[in-house]
Chain A
């Protein structure tokens, strides 16, 4: 397969064997469980395991897309050129040893692939290319209270280096119990959810509006969970909006229609439905 890069920044994912989607239906159970246990999880990770996990980096998986093989590539400061991804051998259907994938090299483009060598098996569907889940954070006001009076916070560095989703600079419960000093902030981090961060994500802003803060960001709730990214989810289109579209497209005066669509391809399906109806 050949790809022509057209912009300075480009990204691509190839799934030779495709991928299956898994999605938890009982979503609310996971959200409630995360709110209930989020604080204990941070304490475990940072006090017992000493991982130095930063706030908002804890993630509970509620959905994933998994395949047997993949090739992916991305880069910035690219110039227009063509790159190739080739895969040969083995049986796509069975997935065995002998499947080979390779990228042609291109300046500025970084690439990865699986299987790495012809000896790797593709028998297992264990390669997770996309995940959906819940970002769990500790209310910073609670942290401040827990370490009252000794909070230090440095705000150095460019917001563009901030990991996404906006991972905080604090290490919740990072200090041993009894020590009231909060560790110095990671120097490369900027404060979480700084509006400036969002500038680099372009039209993602609508997704951030979709995101739900189930916990309160005030002093009353210690755990804040955020569904990220919040799809697939059910969406209702206002019947009125559909009616207007149908009316203008077909001239028919009265329609009663109620649609529920997945936002994964939020715009094209409506057009397709209109095409089918007219």
Chain B
């Protein structure tokens, strides 16, 4: 089984959404699209290598740079709901790990002089220790 399939099937259980094996925007898409990446209102095709093949955005007008690849002839953008998008900053915190079938992990070496060790059980965080070693990275 392809690793991208394993990745999708296992992390789907974490109930964050459909996990993409290729989170980066298509490098051949216009700069306007690459700046923002996948966004609400994007229409695309799910690919079996774990990616999203972007077509157009239903909120953008036909002449918007992000709709450079073309839109259907009778295309009418759907008005973006004013306050209709919920945004949660750092929903996943810095250095967060989302794993499956990973029992233990020990981590260190982030930032200047701080070593952080995580000890994780299968489902719950058991402990978080922070050691300040003062060692340069």
Contacts and interface: CB of A to CB of B under 8 A. Distances in A.
A201 interface: yes
A247 to B, nearest CB: 26
Interface string A138-157: 00000000000000000000
Interface string A105-131: 000011010100000000011111111
Nearest to A188: B48
A260 B44 CA distance: 33
A24 B81 contact: yes
B100 A10 contact: yes
Interface stretch (A39-47, A172-180, A211-219): A39-47
B93 A18 contact: yes
A236 B39 CA distance: 29
Nearest to B118: A1
Nearest to A49: B70
Contacts, number: 274
A131 B17 contact: yes
B91 A20 contact: yes
Interface of A: 1-7, 9-26, 29, 33, 37, 40-41, 43-45, 48-49, 51, 53, 57-67, 70, 72-76, 86-89, 92, 109-110, 112, 114, 124-133, 135, 160, 163-165, 167, 200-204, 207, 228-229, 231-232, 263-266, 268
Contacts of B23: 67, 70, 72, 114, 127-129
B95 A15 contact: yes
B97 interface: yes
A76 to B, nearest CB: 5
Contact of A74 (B7, B45, B47): B7
A53 B94 contact: no
Interface size class of B (residues with CB under 8 A): 35 or more
Contacts of B110: 16, 87-88, 92
Contacts of B109: 86, 88
A50 to B, nearest CB: 12
B111 interface: yes
B102 interface: yes
Contacts of A21: 86-88, 91-92
A186 B39 CA distance: 30
Interface of B: 1, 3-13, 15-25, 34-48, 52, 55, 58, 70-74, 78, 81, 83-111, 118, 122, 124, 137
A51 B85 CA distance: 31
A127 B37 contact: yes
A146 B55 CA distance: 25
Nearest to A108: B3
B86 A23 contact: yes
B9 A201 contact: yes
B3 A132 contact: no
B98 A131 contact: no
Q: Which of A3, A14, A26 has the most CB atoms of chain B within a 10 A radius of its CB? A: A3
A86 B81 CA distance: 40
B49 to A, nearest CB: 9
Contacts of A19: 90-92, 96
Contacts of B98: 12-13, 15
Contacts of A131: 17-18, 20, 38, 52
A167 B83 CA distance: 33
